[in-house]
Structure 1
Amino acid sequence: MDRDGLSVEWINGHKGRGVFATKAIYKGEFITEYRGDLLSKRDAEMRCQKNISDVAYMYYFKHQGKNMCIDASKEDGSIGRLVNDNISSVANCRMRIIVKDSHPHLCLYATKNILQGDELEYDYGGYTPWRKKQGMKVCSIQVSLTNTMHA
């Protein structure tokens, strides 16, 4: 579930849409979940190869020694998939794995106080070709998550 106080806005042709705070969010607070289909890495790579659109929202991560992926490519109204990348020194959010009923959930939390009007951003880590070039097809976000919490 997405928290109250968030809006999606168009930024530009390179960045696309982004998520902005419509009210203050405090350090440590839950922001949103990165929702989609939970897949094995192999199934995700096969799905990515079949993807004919320009962009996919595939978030690879490791959980309990297994390489997994959440595919949020389907436009479903959730906003976690629209939070943009920024280097960790500037980012105001961080992704964590939350385990509920034995299933991993990727959840964003505020790493600092976020003011009304601020764009929400986190460091995607590893695979970030758009930091160097514009206009590339990006099929995945590959990150190593170490913060696991159980709900």
Structure 2
Amino acid sequence: MFQSYKIIIGKITGIIFLPLLKFVKNVHLYCRMAGYLSRGKRAVEEALGVTRKPRLSPVQSARKWCGKATDQEGLERHFVSENIGFGVFATKPFEKGDFLLEYCGTHCTPEEADRTNHNYLFGFKYAGKYIWIDAFQTDRLGRFVNDAKENTIGCNSKQKLLFFEGVPHICLFASKTIHIGDEIRYDYGDDSGNLFWRNQLLSTMTIQMVLMMMMMILLMLKKPKQR
């Protein structure tokens, strides 16, 4: 009886583990072959004098696309909602630190910025004076990137002021890994209460908290008293 159990267990073990061992062996062989092919490809490239282009650093990438005065591939504009309008979304993944795009437009003085009647303005201090970028007339994607407060889930990028050939550029870099379909958002940096959508969000959250507190009070009042 015990011998028959050993035979049955041995057959079951063979049925389960033999295919697994073959699979592991095939994977190991595939990995070895892939390594040989990769080394062989490098050897052929070296023999032919083919050199691989090194990957650009984020700042080098920013310089490249700012110089071309165009947006790189991997970002698209899509309609979000009536309240928000358009937004910029990733069509390829970006790693933390990668250059995304430039907020570009016409440079203007604070006096000229005060005479505008739109929100496509970005201001910064340069050489002791304030300069504004008016993006209203451009079709570049930078003007469509929406706001999200820093250290929140929605905020996935950060702006930096860079200088190329003495010209200032407002560049946006990924502050975390960005996946395909993610909306690009950064903190506009205005905590003065001028961003009406933040005030609306705060008002909505305040109303929700008040309603929750009222419901809890009502539930406590309805709770039957213990005798």
Shorter-chain TM-score above 0.5: yes
Q: 1:133 offset after TM fit, Å? A: 3.5
Q: 2:149 aligns with which of 78, 81, 87?
A: 87
State the match for 1:45 in structure 2.
114
How does the TM-score come out when normalised to structure 1? 0.78
Which residue of structure 2 aligns with residue 118 of structure 1?
182
The code of the aligned residue for 2:172 comes to L
* AA matched with 2:90: A
1:44-101 per-residue CA deviation (whole Å, 9 max, x = no partner) reads 213x1xx3xxx33011111232111000011x32001100000101210111111122
Q: TM-score, normalised by structure 2?
A: 0.53
Count of aligned positions: 127
RMSD over aligned CA atoms reads 1.5
Partners in 2 of 1:89 and 1:78 — Cα distance? 26
Distance in 2 separating the partners of 1:65 and 1:38: 15
Q: Specify which of 125, 129, 142 is matched with residue 196 of structure 2.
A: 129
> CA–CA distance in 1 between the matches of 2:176 and 2:109?
32
Higher-RCO chain (CA-CA 8 Å, sequence separation at least 6): 1
Q: 1:23 aligns with which of 92, 97, 102?
A: 92
Per-residue deviation, residues 88-126 of structure 1 (Å, max 9, x unmatched): 012101111111222211110001110001000000011
Find runs of 4+ consecutive structure 1 residues off by over 6 angstroms: none
Q: Work out the CA distance in 2 between the residues paired with 1:114 and 1:30.
A: 12
The equivalent of 1:66 in structure 2 is 129
Gaps of 5+ in 2: 1-69, 202-227
Give unmatched runs, 5+ long, in structure 1.
135-151
- 1:3 and 1:30 in contact (8 A); partners too: no
Match of 2:132, SS state, is: strand
- Aligned AA for 1:113? T
Q: Which residue of 2 aligns with 1:102?
A: 166
How far apart, CA to CA, are the structure 1 residues paired with 2:166 and 2:146? 28
Larger radius of gyration: 2
